[in-house]
Amino acid sequence: DRKILLTLIDKFAGGPVGLDTLATAVGEQADTLEDVYEPYLMTEGYLVRTPRGRAATARAYDHLGRKVPASAQGSLL
């Protein structure tokens, strides 16, 4: 779970990013990411699904001790 959030934040600036792209970046199957990890991350408030892809929330940044980018604060809260 942590690897997914770190990848989303570090490699994709918090998103949004498509499921297949994110799955490839973390070395998981897209189905596994969607069926196993994503429900937990969404329930905990770390991840949101948008029409453009998955995105990290402000809570995810806080959880990882990262500063939420000013340009993204409004859309991630």
Can you list the domains of the chain with their CATH numbers? 2-67 (1.10.10.10)
pLDDT (tens digit, 9 = 90+) per residue, 6-56?
999 999 999 899 999 999 999 999 999 999 999 999 999 999 999 999 999
What token pair was written down for 70?
């000013």
Instruction: Work out whether strand 53-56 and strand 47-50 pair parallel, antiparallel, or are unpaired.
Output: antiparallel
pLDDT higher than threshold 70 for residue 3: yes
Residue 75: pLDDT above 90? Answer: no
**The two structure tokens encoding residue 1:** 């779970």
Question: What distance in Å separates the CA atoms of residue 51 and residue 3, rounded to the nearest whole number?
Answer: 23
